[in-house]
A and B are shown apart, each in its own frame.
Chain A
Amino acid sequence: MSDYYTIEGERPELAEIEVNAPESYIGRKILPTVTLVDKTAIVYYADATADVAAQTNRSDGSGPSATAISGTSATMTCTEACKRGTITPEEARTMGG
């Protein structure tokens, strides 16, 4: 019976197949993807702010005042979406090999 089970465990070769988003899906054009190696992080990003006046003088021995470029931050947590597919042993018998 075990002959009719396919490979067990991780399937990196399946994971590497490029997935084409369905043609009418526009979400990733609107909010482009940023890849992360952590599921939870604090992201810093720029918002539309008024122009900041340049500093024209400073005290001896002190540096210019800093203005944060990515002035806003938020905590983000990736949520999981999963889907399970099934191939029965009966179907595996007809798949050749």
Chain B
Amino acid sequence: MKAQEQAIADLVLGTADKTFDPAKLMADAQTALDTVRPYEGRTALIGATITLKRVVMGLLNDSNASKVFSRLIAGASPSVAATGMNFSAWMSALAMYLGVDDVLAGDSVIWNAAGTTAEKFGIAVIDAGDDELSHKWQPVLGKTFQFMPDNGIPWQITTVPDRVNHNNLYDAYLWYYPKLMNEAAVYVFDGVGA
């Protein structure tokens, strides 16, 4: 499943459209939202947990953006500010600040992998996934095609007795193909340094 997740991450965050600049992120995010607007679904901010944290830190370190952003986290009173600094609050603040519906924070090893997804995050339109064939009649970001001949079971599992080394071996096979159908439905930022 890690291989599948990595393949999806590499596809979604494969090509950068813009370099991250905390001072301009609100305007750049609006450009991203305008770019992905023709597609149907909910808008989502996608990135590694560590990358999204670095985005927040970048915003807080910027002299202008920090005032707006910290006000979003803090709310109206100091007591709210004191309890509002967990990661969920950070994600909510990013959603409010950038104007997206959801924030999807992925595994930092996979979604911040050196050479592919490192220092990247994206704004995309994703469909709910409750209709397997939605890509037939509406432009969606993409789908993961999975070979499931046995009633939706993704795994083929076989026991292999190893008489040479005296072991019981269990092989699990999975076949998948992630496909990005509408590349313009995701807008990718890179350059989110540590």
Contact = CB atoms under 8 A, between A and B. Distances in A.
Say if A and B assemble together: yes
Interface of A: 1, 5-12, 14-16, 19, 21-22, 24-39, 41, 43-48, 69-70, 72, 74, 76-89, 92
Nearest to A2: B161
Interface in B129-162: 129, 132-133, 135-150, 152-161
A76 B178 CA distance: 9
A36 B136 contact: no
A15 B127 contact: no
A85 B172 contact: yes
Contacts of B104: 26, 29-30
Given A15-B157, A92-B168, A39 B147 contact: yes
Contacts, number: 203
Contacts of B139: 45-48
Nearest to B153: A15
Interface string B91-117: 000000000000011110011000000
B165 to A, nearest CB: 9
Given A70-B137, A79-B177, A35 B9 contact: no
Contacts of B177: 76-79
A31 B140 CA distance: 9
Interface stretch (B24-32, B38-46, B63-71, B72-80): B38-46
A32 B168 contact: no
Contact of B106 (A25, A38, A84): A25
Contacts of A9: 158-159
A69 B137 CA distance: 6
B149 to A, nearest CB: 5
B145 A34 contact: yes
Contacts of A35: 132, 146, 148, 152
B51 interface: no
A31 B4 CA distance: 11
A86 B179 contact: no
Contact of A27 (B5, B132, B147): B5
A7 B172 CA distance: 15
Interface in B16-62: 38-39, 44, 46, 49
